[in-house]
Amino acid sequence: MFHGSIPALVTPFSDGTFDESAYRSFIDWQIEEGSSALVPCGTTGEAATQSFDEHFEAVHVCVDQAAGRVPVIAGCGSNDTRNALRNLQKAQELGADAGLVVPPYYNRPSQEGIYRHFEYLASNCDLPIVLYNVPSRTASDILPETIVRLCKFPTIIGIKDATADMDRISAQRAACGPEFCQLSGNDYLALGFMAMGGAGCISVTANVTPRLCADFQKACAEHRWEDALALNDRLYPLHGAMFADASPGPAKYALSKVRPGFPGGIRMPMTWPSDEARAKVDAALALAALSDD
């Protein structure tokens, strides 16, 4: 169902509030530049700083503006299983094509607890679920043996894997089958991830350079590995620069360079990137031939 370059969209804030007009324009640009799907209200979208109403206002706007041109995978995770279900149900009501769901964070449940969390969600809502495994943020790791149990639910269709453990790609492919959609959660590993059977990448960098990321993914899908490598060489410094300071600060700074006038508001506790981080972004944009700085 999902493939290619899928931006984990930043959320534009002006004077501390959601800027709907800027978001609609940003979504159009992403689609026009070749993005294959959109993820509103994930980590990069500052979902952790949004109320339920704000969160799903952004999801609603994303679904409405995409208008069926590309699928929408709405961020739906929570450390409370009942709240995660509420999020999934609301995303389904608004027309999202799937929910992106982390294992419960902070609670640090056992593998059985993680399994039961997703079992409950899959049993009580038929919106497709893309697992999001990002132990560096959640302090919970969905181990391969748990993924094998979960992929038996027909609505658990894939995973955004941000473990940086490349062995898991082949292990999960062998256990769950090639139809189980594996999406890289690390831009800097996307080339290897695709070569090992991945379907695409849920990307931070694609916020800033959707066309290059889409071209890279297309080259991978067509097994044009020399072209993919050349594009990866251009993109690699930018992948690192996106995390030169706390995300999404660098991404929003980079957007201010490539899309002048894009709202740069960031909600506390996130802050505007440091001088050093901005210099890294500037250098990476220049290397990618996205600016003259």
Catalytic residues: 132, 160
Tell me if residue 177 falls in helix, strand or coil: coil
- The Cα 247–Cα 238 span in angstroms is 13
Taking Cα atoms as reference points, which of 238, 249, 248 lies closest to residue 293?
Answer: 238
List Cβ neighbours of 115 (8 Å cut-off, separation of 6 or more). Answer: 146, 149, 150
Using the Cα atoms of residue 172, residue 70, residue 8 and residue 155 in order, give the sign of their dihedral: negative
Task: Could you list the beta-strand ranges (E) of the chain.
Answer: 4-7, 13-14, 17-18, 73-75, 98-101, 129-133, 156-161, 181-184, 200-203
- The Cα 129–Cα 146 span in angstroms is 15
**Residue 204 DSSP one-character state:** S
- The Cα 226–Cα 75 span in angstroms is 34
